[in-house]
Amino acid sequence: MKLKVYADRMSQPSRAVIIFCKVNGIDFEEVRIDITKRQQLSTEFKEINPMGKVPAIVDGRVKLFESHAILIYLACVFPGVADHWYPADLFKRAKIESVLDWHHSNLRQGAVTYVVNTVLPPALGLPLNPQAAAEGEKVLFSSLSKVESFWLKGSGLFLLGGNQPSIADLSLVSELMQLEVLDENDHNRILAPYKKVKQWIKDTRYATNPHFDEAHKMLFKAKARLQKQPSVGTNSETQSSLKATLPSKM
Amino acid sequence: MKLKVYADRMSQPSRAVIIFCKVNGIDFEEVRIDITKRQQLSTEFKEINPMGKVPAIVDGRVKLFESHAILIYLACVFPGVADHWYPADLFKRAKIESVLDWHHSNLRQGAVTYVVNTVLPPALGLPLNPQAAAEGEKVLFSSLSKVESFWLKGSGLFLLGGNQPSIADLSLVSELMQLEVLDENDHNRILAPYKKVKQWIKDTRYATNPHFDEAHKMLFKAKARLQKQPSVGTNSETQSSLKATLPSKM
């Protein structure tokens, strides 16, 4: 039975899993769980993931959720996945796990909190929460500094000094791509101080294309809709299509 | 060269790593990083962990931080660690990683946010933040419900239906033990609805004693000091000994 990937491409961990499968030639069926329609909270989907979040996979009798656990599982059980994604070497592997664990309460928390409290409230017709946005921004900047000065300090193109990407590059870059939905000036302001980070995003994209661009098409469409918004909270189509997007992500 | 574990036993992930080493007979040197003295931010310690958090380890040439990555590494490279802690079976392993990843933004986030915004501000002479405490409580209750109804739904004593504990049991139970510093009534109010959770904490303690109790001695001493506090913000000894405790944890 073919691997099933339950995902919404508006969700950054969903995109990481989809890109990983495509880059590694893993045969899978993508099952769209439309988080704008709250399908992740349906009884059917909760049979797959009781936490009501995407992505999740079903592989034979195995049901699994949490994108990092999924990426590790896929790297270990599918033949033909190149070693650099999740090396057999226990020392390299431990370092990758350290990045992935760090990500949860740092880059992810900062990026999600910032996006949820800046670009989304106007699109959803909700009031802004400047304090929450400021807290998110603080965590985001602190995390970007750590990526720039520590995780990318090696001589290679990727995290931990690697010359080829690992699942950590895929997870963290997918997260940063979510910042694309921000206003162009704000996006530039946030990333401008981090030259290595900007280059690393390009390198990860390059290493995983055409799948990277293909998986991000939906995000760029959402971005275009957001940029077109004439004023705060007036575009009901955008509001409807974005509603509940972020709280539903993993 | 002996494994070095840089830890503060007031930090829940530090305790998880220490208990794991002791239960599994791993020979190690415990290096106290006193977070009440902000030693985790010292130049010397930042050579070990540039993120300035405990725990961290040095094993020969390997430096590693993030407690889940450390637990996985130790389980894989040290001989004599029983399989149930981190099974060789890739399906069981994936499920354990799913619990560990879920933990970051759920049980951990809820428990830390709640403790930081309830019992600690009075001890540190800081004003309470009821809104932040309420948000932490919400995440904490939701996470406890998921542990009770989903992660502990199997017939075994431990997470995922296991009959013996894994590193996920150790990490999550160490987190919940931090609630011991709360006022007794509040502690009971929070855990009362979760009978399986309460039993699971006991079972994990039982499975890892005497090391579990020994590793928690310092926490119980802090609890006793907090309970003795006559009024808000007057006990400078407690204030000093607790200052900067929680923001410093991993």
The DSSP result for A23-79, as a single string, is: HTT--EEEEE--GGGTGGGSHHHHHH-TT--B-EEEETTEEEESHHHHHHHHHHHST
pLDDT at A119 over 90: no
Contact A38, A243 (CB under 8 A): no
User: Which chain B residue shows the shortest CA-CA distance from A150?
Assistant: B50
Other CB atoms within 10 A of residue B134 CB:
12
Beta-carbon count within 10 A of A250 CB: 24
Does the pLDDT at position A7 exceed 70?
A: yes
Decide if A68 and B97 are in contact by the 8 Å CB cutoff. yes
Q: Using pLDDT thresholds of 50, 70 and 90, give the confidence band for residue A250.
A: very low
**How many Cα atoms occupy the beta-carbon half-sphere of A167 within 13 Å?**
32
Query: Is residue A9 predicted with pLDDT exceeding 60?
Result: yes
Cα gap B68→B72, rounded to integer Å: 6
| Least CB–CB distance from A51: residue in B69, B102, B108 | B102
Answer whether residue B69 shows pLDDT above 50.
Answer: yes
- Binary contact (B68, A101; C-beta < 8 A): yes
Residues 6+ apart with CB under 8 A from B69: A94, A95, A97, A98, A100, A101
A63 vs B126, higher pLDDT: A63
Judge: A105–B101 Cβ closer than 8 Å, yes or no. Answer: no
* A16-29 pLDDT per residue, tens: 999 999 999 999 99
* CATH number for the domain whose boundaries are A85-213: 1.20.1050.10
Q: Where do we find the tokens 């690393």?
A: A200
Quick check: bond before A127 cis, omega within 30?
Answer: no
Does the structure show a pLDDT above 60 at B232? no
pLDDT for residue A241: 45
The pLDDT tens digits for B135-145 are 999 999 999 99
Distance from CA of B172 to the nearest CA of A (A): 15
Residue B91 has its nearest CB partner, among A62, A68, A95, at A62
Q: A159 near A169, Cβ under 8 Å?
A: yes
**CB < 8 Å to A94, chain B:** 62, 64, 69-70, 72-73, 76
- Summarised one tens digit per residue, pLDDT across range A153-174 is 988 999 999 999 999 999 999 9
> How confident is the model at residue A237, as a pLDDT?
41
Determine, for residues A97 and B68 on separate chains, whether the beta-carbon distance falls below 8 Å.
yes
Residue B229 has a pLDDT of 64
- Scanning every residue of chain B, which has its alpha carbon at the shortest distance from the alpha carbon of A56? B98
Q: Are residues B66 and A102, on separate chains, in Cβ contact within 8 Å? A: yes
Query: Using the beta-carbon criterion (under 8 Å), do A98 and B50 form an inter-chain contact?
Result: no
Average pLDDT over residues B87-103: 98
Instruction: Note whether A104 contacts B102, CB cutoff 8 Å.
Output: no
A248 touches A56 (CB < 8 A): no
- Nearest-neighbour CA in chain B from A32: distance (Å): 21
Average pLDDT over residues B18-22: 98
Across the interface, whether the CB atoms of B94 and A65 are under 8 A apart is answered: no
- Region of B64 (left: φ > 0; alpha: ψ -120 to 50; beta: rest) is beta
In this model, does residue A231 exceed pLDDT 90? no
Which range is least confidently modeled, A70-79, A199-208, A216-225, B41-50? A216-225
pLDDT at B248: 38
- Provide the mean pLDDT of chain B: 91
Nearest CA in chain B to A112: B105
Distance CA B120, CA B100 (A): 26
Interface test with B, best of A67, A81, A97, A113 (most B CBs within 10 A): A97
Q: What is the pLDDT of residue A229?
A: 64
Residue of chain A whose alpha carbon sits nearest to that of B104: A104
**B185-222 pLDDT per residue, tens:** 999 999 999 999 999 999 999 999 999 999 999 999 99
What's the rounded mean pLDDT across residues A74-83? 96
Please name the member of A94, A104, A150 whose beta carbon is closest to the beta carbon of B50.
Answer: A150
- Pick the closest to residue A172 from A209, A135, A143, A210 (CA basis): A143
pLDDT tens by residue, A55-68: 999 999 999 999 99
Q: Which fold has domain B85-209?
A: Glutathione S-transferase Yfyf (Class Pi); Chain A, domain 2 (1.20.1050)
Tokens 């199997």 map to which residue? B154
Interchain CB distance below 8 Å, B102 and A73: no
pLDDT-derived band at A126 (thresholds 50, 70, 90) equals: confident
pLDDT at B46 over 70: yes
